[in-house]
Copies of this chain bind each other. A is one copy, B any other.
């Protein structure tokens, strides 16, 4: 049986390289060098460069989708749901810091799985927007433009991978709390 851990190492290394240069700029020879082997040897473990991207992106995207479904099905208030989304992003980003780069920046290079990815993404954003709109209707949230609220929160959360590595000392719970405070309560001292 081929070693699954070896394949996993390759995927992790690929994710790290994709983060630093982007999918297109990373060559199989780059990846091989980082793994301390020759490019051809990679194909004992994986079937193509595209498979690497697909594995990374689709796996994480599905984790987000599952998390969002749970949140939406829960009985929390809408504000509490937003806080749960923040925690979801912090948690997944902590687990897949490098992979988040590909998810954010290289999804357009997916081939077979592009449509599937876009479907997951649309579902996620629709749910997010839905929670905000319900929050406005129930007067938990100010009657601002819901799309701008979502855009503002989501882009911050999507960029966490760039920034969390530098802040390793903050644990996940503290970071979630801080982010929720800032994004939900604002920064102004009133």
Query: When the two chains form their complex, are residues A182 and B148 in contact, meaning their CB atoms are under 8 A apart?
Result: yes
The secondary structure that dominates the A interface is helix
- Output the least CB separation between A137 and chain B (Å): 12
Complex partner residue of A182 from B21, B105, B152, CB under 8 angstroms: B152
Query: When the two chains form their complex, are residues A189 and B141 in contact, meaning their CB atoms are under 8 A apart?
Result: yes
Best-surrounded residue of A22, A24, A148 (most CB of chain B within 10 A): A148
Number of copies: 2
Question: What CA separation (Å) do A144 and B181 show in the bound complex?
Answer: 9
Give how many A residues have a beta carbon under 8 Å from the other chain's beta carbons. 41
Question: What CA separation (Å) do A181 and B156 show in the bound complex?
Answer: 16
| Chain A 116-158 interface residues, beta-carbon cutoff 8 Å to B | 139-142, 144-145, 147-149, 151-152, 155-156, 158
Pull 29 A–B residue pairs with CB atoms less than 8 Å apart, ordered by A: A21-B24, A22-B106, A22-B108, A24-B25, A25-B109, A140-B188, A141-B187, A141-B188, A141-B189, A142-B187, A144-B178, A144-B181, A144-B182, A144-B187, A147-B167, A149-B187, A151-B163, A152-B156, A152-B183, A155-B156, A155-B158, A155-B159, A155-B162, A155-B163, A159-B159, A184-B186, A184-B188, A185-B188, A186-B186
- Extra contacts besides A20-B108, A147-B167, A152-B156 (9): CB < 8 Å: A24-B24, A25-B109, A141-B188, A144-B181, A144-B182, A145-B178, A148-B179, A185-B188, A186-B186
